[in-house]
A and B are shown apart, each in its own frame.
Chain A
Amino acid sequence: GAVVSQHPSRVICKSGTSVKIECRSLDFQATTMFWYRQFPKKSLMLMATSNEGSKATYEQGVEKDKFLINHASLTLSTLTVTSAHPEDSSFYICSARFRGSLYNEQFFGPGTRLTVL
């Protein structure tokens, strides 16, 4: 149980285009999903917390107009990188937390490698 999927696993796009990444909890309801960014050989940087049915909460320094997050259902959150540039190239990982969880245990997706040319 507690499987989280991400799609696509890898995407290459041209500078200036927008890219959408999907995060799905396959076998549980996730009222809260998280989006992280990971640079090579670095730890995870929390970008935003996404709650179903409400606006995402962004971490300091993360541009909300550039990284659009939508959490339309209890099993799906999307991250759209708008007008992507080479500096947005990174590994993006989502995670999901059980509805009703008290411990903030998160289940992670396999990640999406974004390369902007």
Chain B
Amino acid sequence: GAGVSQSPSNKVTEKGKDVELRCDPISGHTALYWYRQSLGQGLEFLIYFQGNSAPDKSGLPSDRFSAERTGGSVSTLTIQRTQQEDSAVYLCASREVAPNQPQHFGDGTRLSIL
């Protein structure tokens, strides 16, 4: 079956522009996560969505970052007024909310801020 799909796969933009990244989770997965991965680093948690519950935004690094999940499926991560330090790979993962179900990852969006 289809895995987690992210788009675009690569995005290059100028400093100060807004960007929007998209994640299509696996069908039926009600939990969705966004992570940021800087070059050569581990995964930094950004935000978590679960069903209709209020999202856990505790990992968002600044108020320039926001995310939505409409209809409990597709999610978009928006970065406003991008800065060079925002350059990273942004990974999305989804999982079934059941005991011992792992996260399944998309291939990420590689964001480069010039």
Say if A and B assemble together: no
